C-alpha cells in the first residue's frame, strides 16, 4: 500500500481575485488537477494543502505556483484562468517530470493573444529544434499534437526576424471521405474551407487585420498544392499540411519546388489518408525514400503528445492499440498460411 504525504504551498502575494481565477468556477480548475494527477487539494485563503504520493505532491505544488503566475493582472485586470490553460499546464508539468533538462530544444517565443508560444512536451521541443536546424522537416502523427500550429509559429518567427521574405501555406484539396459536390463562389472561396486551419493559426498569432494586410502584399500566400507546379520558391518558409493526402508525384513535385534560403515543413497523419483506394500516399512513400537524406528531419508524434482535451489522447491511443492488434492478427494469419503451404509441399 502506497503511503500518502501532504505538503503545504502558500501562494504570494495573497489576492482573493487571483485566487478565485486560479480555482475557477465551483473549484473546477482544482478538481481538474485532482482528477488528472490523483491528488487531493484543500485550501484556506492562499494556503493550499496537497495530499498524495510523494513526488506527485511536490509536482502539484510547483504547478499551482506556475498557474498562480498566470493570474497576474494585465492592464489592471485579472485574467480568467481557462480550463484549457490548466490542461496544457498539467500536460507540460507531467512531461517536465519525465524529461531531462537538456532534452528541450530551442523554443519559439512569439507574443500572441494567448501569450508566448512554446513547446509543451519533449517531442514538440525536438520538432521545433529540428525545424530550426534543418532545411526540410516532417511532422508526422495524430491530430492535436501541435504539428501544424508549431510549424506556423516557426514560420511567423522567421518572418518577424526577417530570416525569410514570405510564408507560403499549402495543402492538397482532398475531401475527407465525403463528396461535397459543387461548391459556390470564386476560386478563393472554393479552396478556403480546405485551408481554414492554417488561417486560424495565423489569425491567432498575428491578428486578423495584420494577416489580411500581409496576404494583400503577398507576404503570406495560402494556396492549394496544385498551384505549386512549375514554381521555384526562394527566401520562403513553406508549410505543406495534410500531406498524407498527396500522391507520390505531388510530394516529389512539392519537395523539388524549394529554392535558396527556404525552409519547408511537411505535416500529416498517415492513419487518416483520404486518397482513393489503390492510390499510394506521398507521405508514406517519402518516409521510406528520404529517411537517410541529410538536412531532412522526421519527427513522429503519438497519443502521449496530444495537447487537446484529455479524451482525445485516449481516443488516439485506443486506435493505435487496435491497429497494432489487427496488424499482429494479419501477421499471424500470414505466417500460419505460409507454414501450411510449406507442410503441403513437404507432403
Residue ranges per domain, the chain?
Answer: 5-98, 105-301
**Whole-angstrom distance, CA of residue 307 vs CA of residue 270:** 19
SS (H, E, C) 118-158: CCCCHHHHHHHHHHHHCCEEEEECCCCCCHHHHHHHHHHHH
Domains 5-98 and 105-301 share a fold: no
Contact in structure between 9 and 51 (CB atoms under 8 Å): no
pLDDT at 96: 47
Give the number of other CB atoms < 10 A from CB of residue 98: 10
pLDDT at 214: 92
**Whole-angstrom distance, CA of residue 301 vs CA of residue 145:** 7
Alpha helices in the chain (DSSP H): 16-23, 28-37, 54-70, 83-98, 122-133, 147-160, 187-206, 208-216, 248-255, 282-290, 310-346
**Whole-angstrom distance, CA of residue 199 vs CA of residue 86:** 26
DSSP symbol at 232: -
**Whole-angstrom distance, CA of residue 163 vs CA of residue 261:** 9
Contacts of 322 by beta carbon, 8 Å cutoff, 6+ apart: none
**Whole-angstrom distance, CA of residue 116 vs CA of residue 23:** 22
3-state SS class at 306: coil
Please report where in the chains the cell 492549394 appears, as a residue. Answer: 224
Strand partners, 111: 116
| CA contacts within 13 A on the Cβ side of 282 | 22
Cell reading at 40: 487531493
Cell reading at 134: 534543418
pLDDT at 194: 67
Contacts of 333 by beta carbon, 8 Å cutoff, 6+ apart: none
Closest CA to 166 of 233, 266, 258, 117: 233
Q: What are phi and psi of 229, to 5 degrees?
A: -60, 130
CATH of domain 5-98: 3.30.1370.10
Q: Which CATH architecture has domain 105-301?
A: 3-Layer(aba) Sandwich (3.40)
Query: Each residue's pLDDT tens digit in the chain (347 positions)?
Result: 457 888 899 999 999 999 999 999 989 899 888 877 888 999 999 999 999 877 778 788 888 998 999 899 888 889 888 887 887 787 666 544 443 333 444 455 665 555 677 787 788 888 988 898 888 999 999 888 889 889 998 898 888 878 889 999 988 876 544 444 555 555 555 556 667 778 888 888 888 899 999 999 999 988 888 878 778 788 899 999 999 999 999 999 999 888 888 899 999 998 888 888 889 999 999 999 998 888 899 999 987 777 665 666 677 677 777 877 888 888 888 888 888 777 777 76
Amino acid at each position: 500500500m502506497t503511503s500518502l504525504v501532504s505538503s503545504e504551498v502558500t501562494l504570494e502575494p495573497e489576492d482573493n481575485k487571483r485566487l478565485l481565477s486560479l480555482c475557477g468556477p465551483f473549484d473546477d480548475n482544482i478538481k481538474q488537477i485532482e482528477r488528472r494527477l490523483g491528488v487531493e487539494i484543500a485550501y484556506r485563503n492562499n494556503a493550499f494543502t496537497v495530499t498524495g504520493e510523494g513526488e506527485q505532491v511536490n509536482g502539484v505544488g510547483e504547478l499551482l505556483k506556475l498557474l498562480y503566475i498566470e493570474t497576474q493582472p494585465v492592464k489592471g485586470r485579472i485574467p480568467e484562468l481557462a480550463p484549457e490553460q490548466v490542461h496544457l499546464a498539467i500536460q507540460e508539468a507531467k512531461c517536465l517530470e519525465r524529461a531531462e533538462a537538456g532534452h528541450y530544444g530551442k523554443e519559439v517565443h512569439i507574443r500572441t493573444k494567448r501569450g508566448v508560444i512554446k513547446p509543451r512536451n519533449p517531442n514538440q521541443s525536438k520538432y521545433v529544434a529540428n525545424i530550426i536546424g534543418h532545411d526540410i522537416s516532417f511532422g508526422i502523427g495524430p491530430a492535436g499534437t501541435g504539428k501544424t500550429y508549431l510549424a506556423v509559429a516557426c514560420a511567423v518567427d522567421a518572418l518577424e526576424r526577417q530570416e525569410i521574405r514570405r510564408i507560403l501555406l499549402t495543402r492538397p484539396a482532398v475531401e475527407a471521405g465525403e463528396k461535397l459536390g459543387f461548391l459556390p463562389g470564386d476560386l478563393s472561396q472554393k479552396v478556403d474551407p480546405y485551408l481554414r486551419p492554417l488561417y486560424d493559426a495565423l489569425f491567432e498569432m498575428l491578428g486578423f487585420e495584420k494577416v489580411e494586410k500581409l496576404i494583400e502584399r503577398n507576404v503570406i500566400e495560402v494556396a492549394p498544392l496544385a498551384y505549386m507546379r512549375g514554381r521555384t520558391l526562394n527566401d520562403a518558409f513553406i508549410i505543406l499540411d495534410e500531406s498524407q493526402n498527396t500522391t507520390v508525384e505531388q510530394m516529389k513535385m512539392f519537395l523539388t519546388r524549394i529554392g535558396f534560403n527556404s525552409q519547408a515543413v511537411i505535416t500529416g497523419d498517415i492513419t487518416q489518408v483520404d486518397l482513393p483506394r489503390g492510390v499510394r500516399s506521398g507521405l508514406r512513400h517519402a518516409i521510406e525514400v528520404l529517411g537517410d537524406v541529410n538536412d531532412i528531419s522526421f519527427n513522429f508524434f503519438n497519443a502521449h503528445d496530444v495537447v487537446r482535451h484529455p479524451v482525445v489522447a485516449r481516443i488516439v491511443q485506443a486506435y493505435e492499440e487496435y491497429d497494432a492488434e489487427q496488424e499482429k492478427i494479419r501477421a499471424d494469419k500470414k505466417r500460419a498460411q505460409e507454414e501450411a503451404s510449406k507442410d503441403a509441399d513437404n507432403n
